[in-house]
Amino acid sequence: MPFAQHLLLTIYYVLLGIVAAVMLYRGFLILRYFMHPKEDEEPGARFPEEPVVTIQLPIYNEKFVVARLLEAVCQFDWPRDKLEIQLLDDSTDDTVDVSAHKVAELQERGFDVKHIHRTDRSGYKAGALRAGMAVARGDLLAVFDADFVPKPDFLRQTVDFFTEEKIGYVQTRWSYLNGDYGWLTQGMGMLMDGHFTMEQVTRSRGGYVFNFNGTGGIWRRQAIEAAGGWHDDTICEDTDLSYRTGLAGYRGIYLRHVDSPSELPVQITALKSQQHRWAKGLTECFLKLMPRIWRSDFSLKQKLEATAHLGANLAFPASLFMTIIGMPVLLVRLGMGSAGSFATLVDSAIFLLVFTTQFGFYILATRELHEDWLRRLRYLPFFPLIGVGLAVNNARGVLEALTGLRTEFVRTPKLGVLGGDRQLVKTRERTYTGGRDFWQAVVEIGFGCGYIYMAVVQAPFMIIGSVGTAIFSLGLFGMGGATLRALWIRRAALRAAAEPQVAPALEA
């Protein structure tokens, strides 16, 4: 076999090995779930009287949901003189006016609400939280993103854990206000349930560092200060701080049975923005923290867990590059005879590993959280399509991190739509779609066409594999097509807004 073909196959199997390692880790999480208690910890003691708590609400252009958020946190079951609310507003649109009006109303009702408006947005969310902490009254700092509607008993459920001095943060599970909106929110809800049930439970109760999820939780000020404060050199400032807090000797508490209701993205473009940020941010944390973690006093198990956790998104560029070289690899195999058959068997084994770990992971999480879990499993077929469809999007995020490319912190749009009002979604979604999404959509559709071509080449030799390849292309066509549709809607809206309005003629 020529050297070029050897090199091609070597690269392919290195990439396949990365994907297999991530899937084996996913399978390990399933096994580890059964090795630890399923019930939440209880506080070791109770505060004799309620401590002062500062609620931090970092927002950026959230005009559809900011009033709802402010109203929710003012309903907390906590003495008013022990509750401070900071609206950390980096907005550049009319959210500023909406916020100012709501804050003034709440102040008149006797709530300690402060509207802190920054005009430079330096450090993005981390910068806003850092600025708020500098003037906060409380030593306990609860954080909620704009799409959350926390329950009145949130502080009663979380604060007493801080009677233990080495508790640095408490994280609650996200639940979903609009989970029944459509197939996308149903599927994303199941995806997030996997993270909050399988990953967070096994890490927190196994003695590993687990990541604060950026919202729906509460921090001890001293833990943040001991870790060096909020850093803005990654776009997953929450994960970065979680690990630095662990290295400083603090630990977190995860409460699966205490939920914080939130709003899921109802647009594919919003989902892509969120997933890109998480993939890029975790990889930035991987590059930043791994040397420090491996030099630390963490146990070997903790170091391996941190490596697997923060490096898991490397599977996205690996799978993407496998797609790029997939066709020449297929052609080489077709000429390899029995060796090609063995290679196909290896691929089939890896595919089976991916299938069983992915589906087993989410089936178990759904069963653990929901009484109607069997009904919810009808959304499982969407997972492979969503996973393949996000490959380009998330791989771009990982590659940006690996190459050190700094980009703007792109927020996940929150539309404030909780029912099935699709017309309201169409009206509000025009506000948020970015122009740079066009070229990514073109690439996604191009990869979808590549999958179709591979399916045609495969068909005479392996009909089942050919059908699977063709089905996977639907995820890429769906992601790319939905983005182009959103861009068209926004362009039409901007064009309509730019046209002069003609006044109706007066009747004689």
Q: Which residues of 30-39 are buried (b: 16+ CB within 10 A; e: fewer)?
A: bebbeeeeee
Q: What residue numbers bound the domain in which 197 lies? A: 40-267
Q: State residue 63's pLDDT score.
A: 92
Whether 58 maps to a domain, the answer reads yes
Annotate 257-270 with b (16+ C-beta within 10 A) or e (fewer). Answer: ebbbbbbbbbbbbb
Tell me if 372 is assigned to some domain: yes
Q: What is the pLDDT of residues 286-325, one digit of tens each?
A: 999 999 999 999 999 999 999 999 999 999 999 889 888 8
259 three-class SS:
strand
Classify residue 464: in a domain, yes or no.
Answer: yes
**Banded pLDDT at 508 (limits 50, 70, 90):** very low
Based on the fold, state whether residues 348 and 430 are members of the same structural domain: yes
Q: 54 and 21 in one domain?
A: no
As a whole-number percent, the residues of the chain with pLDDT over 90 amount to: 62
CATH number at residue 175: 3.90.550.10
Is the domain of 19 the same as that of 116?
no
User: Of the residues 267, 295, 322, which one is the last residue of a structural domain?
Assistant: 267
Residues 66, 428, 61: CA angle, nearest 5 degrees: 40
pLDDT score, position 496? 66
One domain, residues 144 and 196? yes
Residue 328 domain flag: yes
DSSP 121-136: -TTHHHHHHHHHHHT-
pTM of whole model > 0.85? yes
User: Does residue 506 form part of some domain?
Assistant: no
Same domain, 91 and 25: no
Are 335 and 391 in a shared domain?
A: yes
Which two structure tokens, joined as six digits, stand for 147? 């799409």
How far the first Cα of the chain sits from its last, in Å, is 89
> How far, in Å, CA of 444 to CA of 477, rounded?
7
Instruction: Identify whether 407 is part of a domain.
Output: yes
In a domain, 293, yes or no: no
Q: How many domains are contained in the chain?
A: 2
Residues 472 and 348 in one domain: yes
* Selection from 359-368, 435-444, 463-472, 496-505 with the highest mean pLDDT: 359-368
Is residue 431 domain-shared with residue 457, that is, in the same domain? yes
Residue 1 has pLDDT above 70, yes or no: no
User: Burial code of 438-475, b = ≥16 C-beta within 10 A, e = fewer?
Assistant: eebbeebbebbebbbebbeebeeeeeebbeebbebbbb
H-helix or E-strand containing 404? none
| Final residue in a domain of this structure, among 233, 267, 301 | 267
Query: Residue 296 class from Cβ within 10 Å (0-12 exposed, 13-18 middle, 19+ buried)?
Result: middle
Identify the band that residue 499 occupies on the pLDDT scale cut at 50, 70 and 90.
Answer: low
Answer yes or no: are the C-beta atoms of 273 and 412 closer than 8 Å.
yes
pLDDT digits (tens, 9 = 90+) for 72-98: 999 999 999 999 999 999 999 999 999
Task: Find out whether 230 and 129 touch, Cβ atoms under 8 Å.
Answer: yes
Pair 214, 257 in one domain: yes
Residue 341 has a pLDDT of: 66
- Kindly state whether residues 151 and 180 are assigned to the same domain: yes
Are 45 and 189 in the same domain?
yes
Determine the Cα–Cα distance for residues 434 and 432; give it in Å rounded to an integer: 6
Q: Is residue 508 part of a domain?
A: no
pLDDT surpasses 70 at 452: yes
pLDDT of residue 421: 65
202, 232, 267: which is the final residue of a domain?
267
Which residues are part of the catalytic machinery? Answer: 90, 238
Q: Please provide the average confidence, as pLDDT, over all residues in the chain.
A: 89
Please indicate, yes or no, whether residues 53 and 10 belong to a single structural domain of this protein. no
